[in-house]
Amino acid sequence: DAYGINDWHKRGPFRYELAGPTSRAPYPGEHTARNAMLICGACERELPEGAYSEEQRGRRQSIRRCDECVAAGNQLVLMKKGRTRSEEDDCPICQLPLPLDKKQTTFMVCCMTLVCDGCIAAAEKRGMNDCPFCRAPWPKKSETISMIEKRVDAGDPMAMFHLGNHYNNGRHGLEKDVARAVELYERAAELGLKDAHFCLGYLYDDGMGVGKDMAKAIRHYEAAAIKGDALARCNLGIIEDKAGNYEIALQHYMISAKLGHQGSLNNIKKMFVKGHASKSDYAEALRGHQSAVDEMRSPDRDEALAASALR
């Protein structure tokens, strides 16, 4: 199953298949006058205007691209980018990549920062009961929403995202309001926050409180995946997998597994069993996954994880 918003604390895609000369459906405006035909600067085919977006139609031939070539180019970018996690995914204290399992991290309302539980546990062992990053006292629960709203008013995308989460789940005294959550997620996504793109992708994919819109879901999944989001990448793989596009699905799963995502590694194993992935594919995924997991581990994090299991 796909990984969703609650897994952030699980799926839709454009099919990048080039239609053959006899298999494609007619383009809009196929039966137009001869002078409405345009040549694509990439594939060099003469195609009707309907085969191009409005933006592409206005470009000179050398840089004009038909919809098929644009899709193919987008696919290339999608597979080249997002193979590593950015520094934004590091804990600001220990500088290690944050665990993909958000249950092993804590959002610090005082400074709008995500900190690994290992650093919080280490600070507590030293007798520090304030925020281990900004040193501010832990705020009262009743102050949470007002503090976040203040940062939202200041244009903080992380605050927008977390306020959106609270509206989406009806937490901290807020009534569940998916429409408001989407509005906040969209603002955060416009400011480049990949987690907001992922949540929008999942909402539109599943149609949870919003109209199901796979085009929007894919667009947001891809925006998150390009920024190194392992869950969004896995969900793109799941959709391609279900559509029978195994080669593309495997590429997505491989990237996600090498970012440390266990679900993607499991899906590669299933593809191997079904004959859609090779033994070397699975071995490569195993090595990459273990390397990513090792990068996210530390004695403090192991200790904090063990302690949380006993609660």
In order along its 311 residues, the chain shows pLDDT tens digits of 656 655 544 333 333 232 333 334 444 444 444 458 898 877 788 999 888 888 888 888 877 888 887 777 778 888 989 999 999 999 999 999 999 999 999 999 999 999 999 999 999 999 999 999 999 999 998 999 999 999 999 999 999 999 999 999 999 899 999 999 999 999 999 999 999 999 999 999 999 889 899 889 999 999 999 999 999 999 999 999 999 999 999 999 999 999 999 999 999 999 999 999 999 999 999 999 999 999 999 999 999 999 988 87
pTM comes to 0.80
Amino acid 173 reads: G
DSSP state of 154: T
Backbone angle region of 160, left / alpha / beta, with phi > 0 → left and psi within -120 to 50 → alpha: alpha
Q: How many CA atoms lie within 13 A of 199 on its CB side?
A: 30
- Spell out the SS3 assignment of 143-199: HHHHHHHHHHHCCCHHHHHHHHHHHHHCCCCCCCCHHHHHHHHHHHHHCCCHHHHHH
Are 53 and 67 within 8 A, CB to CB?
yes
How is residue 22 written in tokens?
Answer: 């006899």
In 3D space, the residue among 50, 15, 23, 91 whose CA is nearest the CA of residue 243 turns out to be 15
Q: How many residues does this entry show for the chain? A: 311
